[in-house]
Structure 1
Amino acid sequence: MQSIHKQIAENLKAIRKLRGYSYDQLANVTGVSKGMLSQIEKGETSPTVNTLWKIANGLQVSFSSLVEEKAPSVSVVRLQEKVALTEGDDLYRVFPYFPYDSAKRFEIYYMELMPHCIHTSDGHYGNVEEYILVCDGEATLTINGTSYTLLKGDSMKFQANQLHTYGNNTNEITSCYLLIYYP
């Protein structure tokens, strides 16, 4: 993790370059001197909160966009490092891989259905969509009384605002990826 003034420097420079602003133009829209902006962008000084607000308001960006550390461009998730959320005597196990992000509006889970598992989920609020991709085994999804059997390599999407059940009617473990999308 880098220091906050280095993070601010990188973020400000990226926003300025994206907008195609010179230091003069940036100074005009923010009310912060071009000398101060240059020092901030080079990481030579740590700006006050008031200065950061002037910059954010002038650029019409959120305050946090100047101070947030950028997410890495590559993120590796290892199953053995995740902790399962379980239900039904551990017959249903779900591993959160990528949590909900309001900018992306989805979350991704790895799900395991133990032999003879039946997991019922109440309908989710709103127009939530679920996408399931079966990695191994056989999953039976029941939505509003209609059952669908998915085999290895099969996938399905459905409106998740209704009662739905995940089942494994076999003697083998079924594994799936589950993406939940919030339009």
Structure 2
Amino acid sequence: MDQLINLFLSNPLFIIIGIFALISFMSRISKAGQTNQRQEQQGQREPNKEEPQKIDWRDIFNQEEEKAEPSPVRQEQVEPSSYAPSQHQESEVRNDLYDRLEEMKTKKREAQERVSRQKQAVSAQQTQSSSSELSLNFKNVTGKEAMKAVVWAEVLGSPRSRKPHKSFAQPPRKY
């Protein structure tokens, strides 16, 4: 037994594990004590799992009886004339609706005019761009421009996989 204690005390790893175990154990105990004190102070302590909860069946039956009794419903008589708007209010509502209709018509006309102006502007731009087409002047092509054109043709052209070639040259046939 004495050798076992000396082994644990001589190895620092065992000492560190023991210290952390004691600290965690003590913190759990203190947290449990604090929560119990708070619950007792608030009067909301939950009964232990070992203590059976006492159920008062009379309270449950009284609640059901209270729910079963319907409360008297007050029925108020509402005069139908209070719902009907007066002639003056009807004419105001109609005037407001007519004004809104006129506003919507003017907005629609303005929108149509804007669309027609935009269409005219786009068609004018198209006619200008078609008249200023790209003019190719092959008389003034230099050697560098020709090399650039070949490179761009290879870059922008169809891929090599679309133009297959034989990778192995076949020997000529002897007759």
If the TM-score is normalised by the length of the shorter chain, which range does it land in?
A: under 0.3
- TM value normalised by structure 1: 0.15
Considering Cα pairs closer than 8 Å and 6+ residues apart, tell me whether 1 or 2 has the greater RCO.
Answer: 1
Which has more strand, going by share of residues? 1
Which has more helix, going by share of residues? 2
- TM value normalised by structure 2: 0.15
